[in-house]
Amino acid sequence: MARFYLTTAIDYANGDPHLGHALEKIGADAICRFHRQMGDDVWFLIGMDEHGQKVARTAAEAGLEPQAFVDRVAERFTATWRVLGISHDQFIRTSTPTHHEAVQRLLDRIFATNPDDFYERSYTGMYCVGCESFKQPADIVDGKCTLHPTRTLEEVTERNWFFRLSRYAPALKAHLAAHPEFLAPATRRNEILALLDQGLDDISASRSRFAWGVPFPRPLSTGEPQTTYVWFDALPNYWTAQFFPGSKAEWPATVHVVGKDITRFHTVIWPAMLMAAGLPLPERVWAHGFISLGGERFSKSAGVKLELDEAIARFGTDAFRYYLLRDIPFDGDGSFSWERFEAVYTSELANGIGNLASRTTAMIEKYCAGVVPAGAAGDVDTADLADYAAARRALDGSRGFLVHEALEAIQRTIGRANQHIQDTKPWALAKDPANRAQLERVLATLARQLARQAVYLAPVMPEKAEALWRALGGPGTAGGTKFVTAERIDCTGWRVSKGEGLFPRPEPTGLR
Chain positions contacting Zn ion, by CB under 5 A: 128, 130-131, 145, 147-148
- Are 251 and 145 within 8 A, CB to CB? no
DSSP-based three-state secondary structure for 470: helix
Torsion on CA atoms 344, 349, 350, 356, rounded to nearest 10: 140
Q: How far is the CB of 290 from Zn ion (least distance, A)?
A: 15
Nearer to Zn ion, 130 or 373 (CB): 130
Q: How far is the CB of 131 from Zn ion (least distance, A)?
A: 3
Nearer to Zn ion, 148 or 300 (CB): 148
Q: How far is the CB of 153 from Zn ion (least distance, A)?
A: 8
Nearer to Zn ion, 264 or 416 (CB): 264
- Are 19 and 58 within 8 A, CB to CB? no
Nearer to Zn ion, 14 or 413 (CB): 14
Nearer to Zn ion, 147 or 169 (CB): 147
Q: Which of 14, 83, 19 is nearest to 49 (CA)?
A: 14
Nearer to Zn ion, 150 or 190 (CB): 150
CA distances for 447 relative to 90, 228, 362, 470, angstroms: 37, 58, 11, 12
Q: How far is the CB of 253 from Zn ion (least distance, A)?
A: 26
Q: How far is the CB of 230 from Zn ion (least distance, A)?
A: 13
- Distance, first Cα to last Cα, the chain: 48
Q: Which amino acid type is present at position 447? A: A
Q: How far is the CB of 301 from Zn ion (least distance, A)?
A: 9
CA dist 18 and 295 (Å) reads 16
Q: What is the distance of C-alpha 98 from the center of its chain?
A: 25
Q: Which residues fall within 8 angstroms of residue 82, CB to CB, at 6 or more apart?
A: none
Q: How far is the CB of 160 from Zn ion (least distance, A)?
A: 19
Q: How far is the CB of 52 from Zn ion (least distance, A)?
A: 12
Nearer to Zn ion, 16 or 154 (CB): 154
Torsion on CA atoms 234, 238, 244, 249, rounded to nearest 10: 170
CA dist 374 and 378 (Å) reads 13
Q: How far is the CB of 151 from Zn ion (least distance, A)?
A: 6
CA dist 419 and 408 (Å) reads 16
- Are 491 and 448 within 8 A, CB to CB? yes
- Are 258 and 285 within 8 A, CB to CB? yes
Nearer to Zn ion, 126 or 241 (CB): 126
Q: Which of 408, 384, 256, 398 is nearest to 329 (CA)?
A: 408
CA dist 328 and 99 (Å) reads 34
- Are 407 and 46 within 8 A, CB to CB? no
DSSP-based three-state secondary structure for 335: strand
Nearer to Zn ion, 123 or 251 (CB): 123
